[in-house]
Amino acid sequence: MIQLNDVSIFLSANGRALVSNISFTLNPGDRSVIIGEEGNGKSTLLKLIYDPALIADHAEYSGGINRGGHRPGYLAQELSPREQEQSISAYLGLGEDFWRAESLAAELGLDGDIVHSSRPVSTLSGGERVKLRLLRILLDEPDMLLLDEPTNDIDIETLEWLEGFIKRFDGGVLFVSHDETLIENTANAVIHLEMVHHKKYCRHTVASLPYREYVAQRERMMLNQEQTANKEREQQQKKEERWREIYEKVETAQRNVPRGDPGTGRLLKKKMHSVMSQGRRLEREREGMTELPVSERQIFLDLPPMEMPRKKEILRFKTEGLFAPNGERLTAGFELNVDASEHIAIIGRNGAGKTTLLRLVESELSQRKDIRLFYMPQNYFDLLDESATPVEFLAPTMEKAAVTRARTYLGSVRFTPDEAEAPIGRLSGGQKAKLLFVRMALEGYNVLILDEPTRNFSPLSNPVIRGILRGFGGCIISVSHDRKFISEVCTGVYELDESGLMESRRFVSAKN
């Protein structure tokens, strides 16, 4: 087993605690998921468990980590630029163990000959890269796995394969993921990291429960807490109203006491002293009241209603085929027709050309004057100046009214005042995604082109984001591998492959 005893993690720059006195055990057979809002220290905790040196440049820790003689394998969130430039064979770093590597590759769904390949790792699809990285880890025969966002950039087929792999692995698995379906289908324990009181303090929950049961239990607890807090506030309000009535009566009597009646004045002064003491007791009671619960689900944002005829023609796209940058043909020719009321998702294997298709659609629709178009790329760098602040991004003129509105909207998606004024480059991927959603709400777009819109949201905030998009009255054209987004938000699903684009029968869409 791997055991943590009272482990705390602090940011070196300002001493802020990311994790405080957490203890838990990872045993063989455990499938434990770490969840939490963006920037709450999930990846840092995973790195620390594997090797404290991985966090030494930005964080410090206290407490004990007992790895119990285990050999954990660690899958980082991203490949380094150097690793991506390496050939596949160099990345694997094999000695004479080619036969075993070929056998493992085949078990992972890779061509066994890939271990000899001189192709750069960067030329592989997202799913192939995940499998290749797992291959390198498995060659060291780990008995525990630490996986940081293994679902990033992989297609639905690979997601389903990964679920099976996690469930079949003999040892314990501790992982971070935003994919709710994968979490629901694999996790039997939950480690929840939170930041509370305007993200000033951290807390955690360790629950030996499947994810759905944990979420249901948490919602019941928060509902009970809210009911208790509201009842206490109602009772407190009645006490305070009664106190104010008494205070006003005594104050009025003091003002009106005749000068020739010092005895009554002394009695009223004594009475006021008692009333003020009672007021101080009420203040202390207010401080000790049950707190109203706050969670990742508390995102108060809506996309404005759109006024477009439901059958208004948005897109009539026709192509003789999609081509990769090197000229390779990816698909046969096809058509895509979309009306104003539709929310469509395009699915397909990695490398099929989905993002290429979205860019072509964006290029065509950006010429239209009768629609307001917003394009959310998979790579946020395309839209965001990392040196600007979120307020500057949302209110570039910096006029007082625009700045106030921007700050209000940022607060609605749980940005603190400090985060609203910090460079965008310091934000997590999920915070950057929230920033783009705020832009959508502020500007009133009626056509959204979204490339993997939910990929960086936490599993607890994702249901809210899906609800916002499901209720959007305009047109959505998206690429997604998020199975819940596809089934809950989209009224049409199309699959892209070598033969072109066709309606998918794989998903039951939201219109059904």
Note the pLDDT of residue 15: 86
For the segment 25-49, what is each residue's pLDDT rounded down to a tens digit?
999 999 999 998 877 889 999 999 9
Count of C-beta atoms within a 10 Å radius of residue 20: 17
Instruction: Give yes or no for residue 297 having a pLDDT over 60.
Output: no
* Cα(446)–Cα(425) distance, integer angstroms: 28
Asked whether the domain spanning 313-503 has the same topology as the one spanning 2-217, the reply is yes
Note the pLDDT of residue 296: 55
Lowest mean pLDDT among 136-150, 280-294, 423-437: 280-294
Largest Cα span, the chain: 110
Instruction: Give yes or no for residue 421 having a pLDDT over 60.
Output: yes
Q: What stretch of H or E contains 85? A: helix 81-85
* Cα(476)–Cα(457) distance, integer angstroms: 18
Q: What is the token pair recorded at 232?
A: 């206490």
The CATH H-level (homologous superfamily) assignment of domain 313-503 is P-loop containing nucleotide triphosphate hydrolases (3.40.50.300)
Note the pLDDT of residue 379: 80
* Cα(99)–Cα(115) distance, integer angstroms: 10
* Cα(448)–Cα(353) distance, integer angstroms: 19
- Domain coordinates of the chain in residue numbers? 2-217, 219-287, 313-503
Instruction: Give yes or no for residue 155 having a pLDDT over 80.
Output: yes
Strands, DSSP E only, in 149-239? 172-176, 189-196, 201-207
Note the pLDDT of residue 349: 87
Lowest mean pLDDT among 94-98, 378-382, 465-469: 94-98
| Mean pLDDT (whole number) for 131-160 | 89
Which residue from 381, 380, 382, 378 is spatially nearest to 357, judged by alpha carbons?
378
Note the pLDDT of residue 63: 95
Q: What is the token pair recorded at 70?
A: 């285990």
Q: What's the sign of the alpha-carbon dihedral 315, 316, 321, 323?
A: negative
Note the pLDDT of residue 65: 94
Q: Predicted confidence band at 428 (pLDDT cuts at 50, 70, 90)?
A: confident
| Mean pLDDT (whole number) for 370-378 | 92
Lowest mean pLDDT among 118-122, 181-185, 475-479: 118-122
Are 345 and 490 in contact by the 8 Å Cβ rule? The answer is yes
Length of the chain: 512
Instruction: Give yes or no for residue 381 having a pLDDT over 80.
Output: no
For the segment 221-249, what is each residue's pLDDT rounded down to a tens digit?
888 888 888 898 899 999 999 999 999 99
Note the pLDDT of residue 60: 94
CATH architecture group of domain 2-217: 3-Layer(aba) Sandwich (3.40)
Strands, DSSP E only, in 284-359? 313-319, 334-339, 343-347
Residue listed under structure tokens 């239209």: 368
Note the pLDDT of residue 289: 83
* Cα(435)–Cα(376) distance, integer angstroms: 11
| Mean pLDDT (whole number) for 290-318 | 77
Residues near 89 by beta carbon (within 8 Å), at least 6 away in sequence: 115, 116, 117, 118
pTM: 0.81
